[in-house]
A and B are shown apart, each in its own frame.
Chain A
Amino acid sequence: MQKSLYLFRSGRLRRKENTLCVEAEEQTRYFPVENVRDIFVFGEVDLSKKTLEFLHEKEILVHFFGFHGNYVGSFYPREHYNSGYLILKQAEHYLDPEKRLVLARQFVAGGLANILQVVKYYANRGKELAATVQVIEDFAAGNLPACGTVEELMAIEGNARNYYYESFNEILSGSPFAIAGRSRRPPADPLNALISFGNSLVYVKVLSEIYKTHLDPRIGYLHATNFRRFTLNLDVAEIFKPILADRVLFTLVGKKMIGPGNFDRQGPAVFLNEEGRRLYVQEFEEKLRSTFYHRRLKRHVSYQTLLRLELYKLEKHLIGEEPYEPFVSRW
């Protein structure tokens, strides 16, 4: 199984013979290149064009994050899976407003369904969340089917999420944190910092998987395509944010693995510090490695594999084989 490499410290990433070498002040470490799926760069890491060429040859994506853990951009090596046929199909489903709406709606529906699974889990554990469940169910069953445009879908999704994030206070009651609405760029409190950090990890994880398929990450359906940035990963991430990022957040805060000491405050902004990011990433990777029984594949699959499977389902929708149904968690 290939692994993700996380670089938190400052140092140098380079090719040494046929191995990846990370030189830092304290120590130099080597990573067999065949075992690396992608690299997450948080520290001040130097790398040369030669290194990038090596990473390109080995088809490894590099995701860069800024000083505060904010996503900066990715090194996306030249596509290696090319299917002109599929690209045309992908564009066709974007250009036809009806076809586009079908997919956009499925992404929102999948996101809301998984949000409901998460909220219901805590409702069953004695948290006062009946009202939240009701509101989100209404959005999913009432407003969603009535939407006629992508903009309306986005609005519904945003509204439902506001109720959802408010419920974090109830889910995490007893923790030292509280959330007063969603805030981004910059996050205003620790929970928002955790949400932002988790979401950006889901975005790039999906992007890494898209690279391993025939899909073009620049053509999204829910998030507006402007052909300059990746959007398809944002679409697919809608489905997985609740069951990956948010569940990791609840574990870390609920089990008090992460506390006020893991955050830095800069004026009105709050960010995870390095230790906090390490803790998050550890738990996140563990989540991705955890497996469950997949009924159709008739074997156990990890969440990491699940991301890829979701993209395959999308490909099958695009070639007209089987209508796309988003993954909905059963637990």
Chain B
Amino acid sequence: MAEKELPDVENAASTGLQVIGSFIQAYMVCPRQAWLMSRQICPDEDHIYLQLGRLIQRQSYSRERKEIHLGHLALDLVRRDGQNLVVAEVKKSSRASAAARMQLAFYLYELRQMGLEAQGELLFPEERRRERLVLDESLAAEVAALKQRIQTLLRQPAPPPPARIQFCTRCAYSDFCWA
């Protein structure tokens, strides 16, 4: 009988490493966070800002259509606006709006790959603010490059070391990183 090879932990974890929206957002803020999330090492769920974020996502725009799962995409909100399909991402604050913008751009990019053209909208209910986003050529190229960089990162056997940044103070991972 041939000896069965044991699956290698590293490979087992990296085979299913598909980039998803939350990794994009995480990577833009802190690459370490993206790596941890890819291993399902989720942060402290009792963290107050996480609970708040979930609450806001659940309670805002309750009249509009909510949460659509399309393959690996988890879209907060999808609606028709005349001829256009609008995909929206709900965020607690615009503190990390650059990251939120790339996450949304990623959704639009992935939808385009599936043959769906859509427009994007960033929603900050607490700030009563909306922001339009259109996926143009340069943004699409940015997303493609970003995806590449993230894939490279996720293949690393260990996460990048923690680095103290402005987001650490309110991050649900900070106890884990700095313990």
Residues of A whose CB lies within 8 Å of any CB of B are: 2, 80-86, 88-89, 92, 212, 214, 296-298, 305, 308-310, 312-313, 315-316, 319-321
Contact = CB atoms under 8 A, between A and B. Distances in A.
B40 A309 contact: no
B44 A212 contact: yes
Most buried by A among B9, B42, B45: B9
Given A296-B179, A312-B179, A320-B157, A88 B41 contact: no
A279 B39 CA distance: 44
B160 to A, nearest CB: 10
B172 to A, nearest CB: 12
Contacts of A308: 175
23 contacts: A2-B46, A82-B40, A83-B40, A83-B42, A84-B12, A86-B40, A86-B41, A92-B9, A212-B44, A214-B42, A296-B179, A297-B179, A308-B175, A309-B175, A312-B175, A313-B179, A315-B41, A315-B176, A316-B179, A319-B39, A319-B159, A321-B158, A321-B159
A319 B41 contact: yes
Interface residues of B, number: 19
B49 to A, nearest CB: 16
Contacts of B41: 83, 85-86, 214, 315, 319
Contact of B40 (A2, A85, A296, A316): A85
A267 to B, nearest CB: 45
A85 B13 contact: yes
Nearest to B7: A88
Contacts, number: 61
A309 B175 CA distance: 7
Nearest to B38: A85
A308 B9 CA distance: 25
B33 to A, nearest CB: 14
A238 B42 CA distance: 27
B12 A88 contact: yes
B9 A85 contact: yes
A89 B176 CA distance: 17
Nearest to B16: A84
A149 B39 CA distance: 32
A296 B177 CA distance: 10
Contacts of B175: 297, 305, 308-309, 312
A296 B13 contact: no
A308 B12 CA distance: 28
A79 B176 CA distance: 19
Contacts of A82: 40
Contacts of B178: 296-298
Interface in B115-157: 157
Contacts of A88: 9, 12-13
B179 A319 contact: no
Contacts of A313: 179
Given A89-B9, A308-B175, A319-B39, A81 B45 contact: yes
Interface in B3-46: 9, 12-13, 39-42, 44-46
A86 to B, nearest CB: 6
A318 to B, nearest CB: 10
A316 B35 CA distance: 13
A82 B39 CA distance: 10
Most buried by A among B12, B41, B45, B161: B41
B29 to A, nearest CB: 19
B170 to A, nearest CB: 13
A206 B100 CA distance: 37
Given A84-B13, A85-B41, A308-B175, 11 more contacts: A81-B45, A84-B12, A89-B9, A296-B179, A297-B175, A298-B178, A310-B179, A312-B179, A313-B179, A319-B158, A320-B157
A292 to B, nearest CB: 15
Contacts of B44: 212
A86 B178 CA distance: 19
Contacts of B176: 312, 315-316
A320 B156 CA distance: 11
